[in-house]
Structure 1
Amino acid sequence: MSEALVAVEAAGAGTSAPAAPGARQFWRRLRAQRAALVAAAVVALLVLVALAAPLLTALEGQDPTTYHPSLIDSARGGVPIGSFGGFSADHWLGVEPQTGRDMFARLVYGAQVSLGVALAATVVQVALGVAVGVASALGNRWVDQLLSRATDIIVAMPLMIMSLALLAIVPSSFPRPVLVTLVIGLIAWGNIAKIVRAQALSLKGLDYVSAARLSGWGAWRVARRELLPGLAAPVITYAALLVPTNISVEAALSFLGVGVKPPTPSWGQMLTDADVWYQAAPQYLLLPAGALFVTVLALTVLGDGVRTALDPRAASRLRVGTGRKDAGARDFGAKGSSAKGSGAEGSGPTTKEASA
């Protein structure tokens, strides 16, 4: 998270923040990055699978909670019967050890929980961070000091320890996906608040914002009409980088046993149950771990691509560097050709003199 914070602050450094590019320019820059396009396709596929989980499981004819005791070998401690964890036409990815629940159904429904919690927590973090950051930048000195110190306290809180403490004392009757979303969102908004405050302070000193304030506009109108459009690029960039972080946090909390509880499927919760089966049934560990790895990697690459596409100076730096390289190559080629030409001209008289 600290690397993302440095990257966003570096993109927004300077006395005046560059305007966010238009939609066409943004898509043109994003299409120029093949890795970002592949990552976007992977993320879109994962979201589609999560949304279509009921349809996909109905097509398979299974559900994520039904036990199939006839598909496990009780004499061997509950290992699935058959090769590759019980792969078959009825169970596309096999079944869980000891329970016999369908792995494909639990994976696709687990995508709903993991992606849904991460996206909802990101929305909460962005909403709180933008509100606190803009209020701190537009408020007077006392308001700025109060909100800044509160933000420092939030940033200093260890996310995992606070989440473990809060999730352990909340009654189990409270819906766990909603609780995990609120805990992550209410604890981890400090960094984005700092980014928004720094960017809003730089925008606050620009002429058009000063003119709007001197004309009698209220703080809310100034923020809505003048500041928020200029804050779109850094906020979207940091939000794109927050999603994979929140997926990892949700998986870690579920792995530690304080996140999503069974029978609700979650990739982290599946990993918790798989730690004793990695030798007897390795697919039970590899499938959710592989899904987490691909999701986090795709979202990270996509977030980096969005950052580059929203930073108008990134493309110009690439163009300048390429132009210098091409210009150097052209100069080198021109010098080489001129040297050859001069050599040929110089050898002509020498040959004639020798023949004479």
Structure 2
Amino acid sequence: MSEALAASPAPAADLSAAGASGARQFWRRLRAQRAALVAAAVVALLVLVALAAPLLTAIEGQDPTTYHPSLVDSARGGVPVGPLGGIGADHWLGVEPQTGRDLFARLVYGARVSLGVAIAATLVQVLIAVVVGVSAALGNRWVDQVLSRMTEIIVALPLMIMSLALLAIVPGSFPRPVLVALVIGLIAWGTLAKIVRAQTLTLKQLDYVAAARLSGWGTWRIARRDLLPGLAAPLITYSALLVPMNIGVEAALSFLGVGVKPPTPSWGQMLTAADVWYQAAPQYLLLPAGALFVTVLALTVLGDGVRTALDPRAASRLRVGTGRRGEARADAGTAAGTDPLRPGTPADGTKEATA
């Protein structure tokens, strides 16, 4: 028995084949969800626009910081001159009230800031959560107690209030997008750390981890070789949902005046300046608000699709269906003595004899 438990892990070729098979199953389940595919296409387009912002603004012939006083009517308080906020061949989405800065350039550069801050904050959260969660699960009782209590304190802290306090006391010379990403990441990792700890405690009970321990592997080698691959699915799932949450936090902080500072464009900052122009220049409010809404919605739908694709039980529920029709199918399969998830297979799991 002990020799079987202490057997060496599976060959690398077998592990690679299993990983490839799991990846194929994941993509197959993800492709079966049309909403997730559309959301993935929208997210990819937004990322492409953010990365290509310098090229796009160069094609338009504008930049996000140049003032155009001649394009606003000072007699009317700075309202853009021309129809629809000054939309034309030179300014594809019009200009900003009072300053005349190009709205298209500020919108695409704002995408770089908003998405960059959200993704960087998510990476910080994941890194801290993995270190704290795995250490708590693998450490002794005292280490677990200390890290668990610290995690609960972090979870209980009000994110917006702590972020406002930290951002208000940091000198203005520090790069603001980097600071916002660090503040969000350093405050909002508690919930993910609790998920990592719980998942690690579950993985510790599996046979292959016990075999690795009996074979003489150290704790951190087991964590690196056996536990971290098992944590990939919940980490990817929760991270996909953290990105839209962090975009909303960054926009809220910029709206409150402690986030990204002018002249650096940000969607939240544009919303802050647009709150008094929704009647005179509605596009100045609608464009960043619409971009923020579409981005958060697409990332949320994509995150939910990734969660479903990584969870075989959720995928099974999708195949069977929900509601009355799904229940009818399950009841019909049970009455016929077959498994509703695998037509033609008896419900007891045995294979039917073939003539």
TM over 0.5: yes
The residue that corresponds to 2:202 in the other structure is 202
Report the 3-state secondary structure (helix = DSSP H, G, I; strand = E; otherwise coil) of the residue aligned with 2:202: helix
Q: For residues 137 and 331 of structure 1, do their structure 2 counterparts lie closer, same or farther at Cα, with a shift above 3 Å needed?
A: closer
TM-score (norm 1): 0.85
Q: CA–CA distance in 1 between the matches of 2:172 and 2:125?
A: 24
Q: CA–CA distance in 2 between the matches of 1:309 and 1:223?
A: 25
Quick check: 2:79–2:98 contact (8 Å CA) kept in 1? yes
Quick check: 1:21–1:310 contact (8 Å CA) kept in 2? no
Q: Over residues 276-295 of structure 1, what are the superposed CA-to-partner deviations in whole Å (9 max), with x where a residue is unaligned?
A: 11111010000000000000
Q: Over residues 49-98 of structure 1, what are the superposed CA-to-partner deviations in whole Å (9 max), with x where a residue is unaligned?
A: 00000000000000000000000000000000001000000000000000
Q: CA–CA distance in 2 between the matches of 1:21 and 1:163?
A: 43
The residue that corresponds to 2:88 in the other structure is 88
Q: CA–CA distance in 1 between the matches of 2:153 and 2:243?
A: 22
Give the partner amino acid of 1:284: Y
Give the partner amino acid of 2:113: V
The residue that corresponds to 2:343 in the other structure is none
Q: For residues 46 and 144 of structure 1, do their structure 2 counterparts lie closer, same or farther at Cα, with a shift above 3 Å needed?
A: same
Q: CA–CA distance in 2 between the matches of 1:21 and 1:323?
A: 28
Report the 3-state secondary structure (helix = DSSP H, G, I; strand = E; otherwise coil) of the residue aligned with 1:22: helix
Q: Over residues 169-221 of structure 1, what are the superposed CA-to-partner deviations in whole Å (9 max), with x where a residue is unaligned?
A: 00000000000000000000001000000000011111211221232211211
Q: Over residues 246-266 of structure 1, what are the superposed CA-to-partner deviations in whole Å (9 max), with x where a residue is unaligned?
A: 000000000000000000000
1:58 lines up with 2:58 in the alignment: yes
The residue that corresponds to 1:12 in the other structure is none
Q: Over residues 315-341 of structure 1, what are the superposed CA-to-partner deviations in whole Å (9 max), with x where a residue is unaligned?
A: 122334477644767999xxxxxxxxx
The residue that corresponds to 2:42 in the other structure is 42
The residue that corresponds to 1:181 in the other structure is 181
Quick check: 2:61–2:90 contact (8 Å CA) kept in 1? yes
The residue that corresponds to 1:270 in the other structure is 270
TM-superposed CA distance for 1:147, in Å, is 0.5
TM-superposed CA distance for 1:313, in Å, is 1.1
Quick check: 1:20–1:232 contact (8 Å CA) kept in 2? no
The residue that corresponds to 2:97 in the other structure is 97
The residue that corresponds to 2:76 in the other structure is 76
Stretch of structure 1 that moved more, 79-88 or 204-213: 204-213
The residue that corresponds to 1:33 in the other structure is 33
Quick check: 1:26–1:310 contact (8 Å CA) kept in 2? yes
Q: For residues 326 and 253 of structure 1, do their structure 2 counterparts lie closer, same or farther at Cα, with a shift above 3 Å needed?
A: same
Give the partner amino acid of 1:212: A
The residue that corresponds to 2:259 in the other structure is 259
Give the partner amino acid of 2:141: R
1:114 lines up with 2:114 in the alignment: yes
Q: For residues 326 and 54 of structure 1, do their structure 2 counterparts lie closer, same or farther at Cα, with a shift above 3 Å needed?
A: same
The residue that corresponds to 2:141 in the other structure is 141
TM-superposed CA distance for 1:166, in Å, is 0.2
Give the partner amino acid of 1:152: E
1:307 lines up with 2:304 in the alignment: no
The residue that corresponds to 2:211 in the other structure is 211
Give the partner amino acid of 1:291: A
Quick check: 2:320–2:329 contact (8 Å CA) kept in 1? no
Quick check: 1:137–1:200 contact (8 Å CA) kept in 2? yes
1:153 lines up with 2:157 in the alignment: no
Q: Over residues 14-69 of structure 1, what are the superposed CA-to-partner deviations in whole Å (9 max), with x where a residue is unaligned?
A: xxxxx997111111000000000000000000000000000000000000000000
The residue that corresponds to 2:247 in the other structure is 247
The residue that corresponds to 1:128 in the other structure is 128
Q: Which has the larger radius of gyration?
A: 1
Q: Over residues 227-262 of structure 1, what are the superposed CA-to-partner deviations in whole Å (9 max), with x where a residue is unaligned?
A: 111111111000000000000000000000000000
Q: CA–CA distance in 2 between the matches of 1:129 and 1:135?
A: 10
Quick check: 1:20–1:233 contact (8 Å CA) kept in 2? no
Higher relative contact order by CA 8 Å / sep ≥ 6: 1 or 2? 1
Give the partner amino acid of 1:42: V
TM-superposed CA distance for 1:115, in Å, is 0.2
Q: For residues 103 and 208 of structure 1, do their structure 2 counterparts lie closer, same or farther at Cα, with a shift above 3 Å needed?
A: same
The residue that corresponds to 1:291 in the other structure is 291
Q: CA–CA distance in 1 between the matches of 2:40 and 2:79?
A: 37
The residue that corresponds to 1:340 in the other structure is none
Whichever structure has more helix as a proportion of its residues is 1
The residue that corresponds to 1:171 in the other structure is 171
Q: For residues 227 and 240 of structure 1, do their structure 2 counterparts lie closer, same or farther at Cα, with a shift above 3 Å needed?
A: same
Q: For residues 203 and 157 of structure 1, do their structure 2 counterparts lie closer, same or farther at Cα, with a shift above 3 Å needed?
A: same
TM-score (norm 2): 0.86
Q: CA–CA distance in 1 between the matches of 2:332 and 2:128?
A: 51
